[in-house]
Structure 1
Amino acid sequence: MKKAGILNRHLAGALAELGHGHEVLVCDAGMPVPDGPRVVDLAFRAGVPSFAEVLDGLLAELVVEGATAAGEVTDANPAAARLLSERLPGLTHVPHERLKELSARARLVVRTGEARPYANVLLRCGVFF
């Protein structure tokens, strides 16, 4: 049995299958989940688990070489905007509609219970060497 890191077996297994260039959408409870990508739905109740908790857990496990979020997050959810800019240097912004289009190519979608708007980010996996 694992004693640290991500314990959810579905999420841990999905992360182990990712490679360089694959994308992971980490999203709030309201983001439309596209058809196609593997989905690990962690949402339990509104706000549980939070976007911040899930993002921090994923960033502890993944090498991330790029990230994209909706520009609307800046005005609509300043707390999420700060979190993203602190955790993801070089974060790029696109309109929310474009982020939804881009999410269709994600290899994995991790849905949180976050109930604040625009708490979504598309992570691009890098390599550790």
Structure 2
Amino acid sequence: MLQTGILNPHVLELIARVRHTNTLVIADWAFPYWPEIETVDISLTKGIPTVLDVLDLLTPVFKIGRIWQAEEFLITNTPETVDRFAKSFGGIPLTREAHVEFKKRVPDAIGLIRTGDATPYGNLVIESV
């Protein structure tokens, strides 16, 4: 029985299918449903868990080559929130782009993990190496 790391079997099954250069979306509670891709909804309540909770659990076991995020994130969040995200990103290359461009990446992802996060534009697309 798993006792550490990601315990949710649906999340584990989803990330096990991600291969080289595939992408995965980690989204907030209000992110729209995309019928083209599998969605694993792990939202418990508003704010639990967060996008960064998921990212921080994925980072040690999932080789991330790039992260995409909407550029609107920078103007709608406090410097403390921006810094918290930057710390979780570490040295992973980050591309910020207009939200409308960001959303064009979603249908090509292997899947989407919906969280309870309420951070404006805090959604991420991560690419495996």
TM-score (norm 1): 0.90
Give 1:80 shift.
4.2
CA contact 1:80–1:119 (8 Å) conserved in 2: no
Aligned to 1:114: 117
Superposition map of 1:58-77 within 5 A: 58-77=58-77
Distance in 2 between residues matched to 1:33 and 1:77, nearest whole Å:
24
Aligned-pair identity in percent equals 26
Q: Which runs of 5+ in 2 are unaligned?
A: none
Distance in 2 between residues matched to 1:49 and 1:25, nearest whole Å:
15
Give 1:60 shift.
2.3
Give 1:28 shift.
0.7
Give 1:35 shift.
1.9
CA deviations 1:17-70 (Å, max 9, x no partner) are 110011000011112232211111011111111222111112222100111100
Aligned to 1:95: 98
Distance in 1 between residues matched to 2:97 and 2:85, nearest whole Å:
14
Q: Matched residue pairs, number?
A: 126
1:124 aligns with 2:95: no
CA contact 2:52–2:88 (8 Å) conserved in 1: no
Amino acid at match of 2:75: D
CA contact 1:63–1:125 (8 Å) conserved in 2: yes
Further displaced range: 62-71 or 47-56: 47-56
CA RMSD of aligned residues (A): 1.4
Give 1:116 shift.
2.2
Give 1:87 shift.
2.9
Aligned to 1:82: 83
Q: Which runs of 5+ in 1 are unaligned?
A: none
CA contact 1:33–1:109 (8 Å) conserved in 2: no
Superposition map of 1:32-71 within 5 A: 32-71=32-71
Question: SS at 1:61's partner residue?
Answer: coil
